[in-house]
Every structure is written in C-alpha cells, then in structure tokens.
Amino acid sequence: MVNLVIVVNAGPCQDDIARGLGSIRAQRYSRWRAMVTIDPCGDATFDRALAAAAGDPRFDIRLNEQRQFSMANLVAAISRSGASSDDVIVVLDGDDWFGTDQTLDTIVATYGRFDCWMTYGSWISNDPSHQGMPRGLWPAYPDDTEDFRRAEWLHTAVRTWKRWLWDLIDDRDFRDERGDYFRVTEDQACMLPMLEMSGTARARHIPDVLMVYNRMTPHACGKIRRDEMQRNADLIRRRPPYHRLAARPSVSV
C-alpha cells in the first residue's frame, strides 16, 4: 500500500478551507496524512480548518506566526511530515478541493500501474464562464520532450511525487536571487527539476478530473501577484537543468 502525505497551504480562504479539507476526509483511500499550514491573514481560516478536521488525527494543522508563503510552507510541511522515501507527496491548495472521493485511488493506481516517480493533472474550474471548456484538462508532455524549461508548461495540478525525488532538489533552487524562498511560482521551482530527472517515462499524466480549481477567489496569486509570478518563472527557467536519472539512486541525498 502507498502512503500519501497531502500538503495543504492556505492563505486567506476562510470560505473554502472546510470544503477542501472535507474533500480529503471524504476520500475512499484512507492511507493518508494531511499537513495543513495556515498563513495568518486576519480571517477565520485557521479556526475553520480546525473545525473541519476535528476528530480526525490524520490532520496536522499549524498556524504560522507570520506569512511564509507557498514555497517555504511546502518545504517545512514535507520536513515535518517525516515522510519516508517511498511515500507520495500530494499538493492541494487550501482554496481548492478534490473533485471526487476517488481522487487518491486514481493517484495510487497510477503509481502502481506505471511505476512512475511523479504525476500531474487534471482539474476543472469552478468559474461558470468556463463551463463547456474545462481549462484544466491539459494534455501530457509529448514523449520526446527533453528541454522542459523551454517547453510549454503542462505540469498542472494535481501534482504528486515520491519523497526521494524531492530530496534530490538543491534547496537553492527553491529561492530567488536574494536567497529568499519564492513566494509564488513554487510549482515551477520544484516541478521542473523533478521533470528533468524523471523524463516523460517516469512523469505520468493523469487525464481524469482529480480537483476543482477555485478560480472565483479574489486572492488567487494569478490575480494579485502576476508580475511576481512572471519574474520568478523567468529566473527559474534560466537556471541550469538537472540531469536525467536512468534509475532511482540507491541512496537519496
């Protein structure tokens, strides 16, 4: 059986956090733990998260003293989880939610069937204007993709990976030119190195709808930090690529 560690990072999402955590509790697959980190934003997100997770010891909910943002929270959550090298990390933003009660079943089945090291996809939007055009049903990377930093970005949510693969990323690649953890664009900072190490043979696309992407929240990074996202993406894509792994290293670093 595969052990899953679900990492939930939340900013101001008091109206959505209960739905997201509820979608985790509703999963038929039960071998999971959820590391939930709340950045203080002056709303009721933390209290509502505690209420939504009440009575389920699989949730570990922490409130930061000050905002740390997505990359620092992701690094800290994986560290405190104590996940083993073969555990699978699953990322779900605090204002999104799993699309069905079989999301985790689908992820686990994909690892078992394809012996992959990471997975990506797929979601639909809750924005009514997107009905009839599900924006998250993106295609897989073509099998011959080599230069992921110049290729079109397709490694969309839901993003998952083996802990040992994560451990091979240099922490400096999670940081900007000042040495601070990226506040946004953390998906590219961690996914591009893992894609490069895995290649398309070990990075599996899941076409099923696993998640509902909350495009209605006014706090979405794409609405309030778009310029910062683009600057970070440009910096990340200029960095040297990681080498492709022919096989899993015998010892993680």
24 and 53 in contact (C-beta within 8 Å)? no
In the predicted structure, residue 101 carries a pLDDT above the cut 90: yes
Confidence of residue 51 (pLDDT cuts 50, 70, 90): very high
Angstrom distance (rounded) from CA 15 to CA 18: 7
In the predicted structure, residue 252 carries a pLDDT above the cut 50: no
Domains of the chain: 4-238 (3.90.550.10)
Confidence of residue 253 (pLDDT cuts 50, 70, 90): very low
Overall average pLDDT of the 222-231 stretch: 79
CA dist 163 to 4, 105, 147, 168, 231, Å? Answer: 10, 19, 23, 9, 28
Taking the model in full, what pTM does it have?
A: 0.95
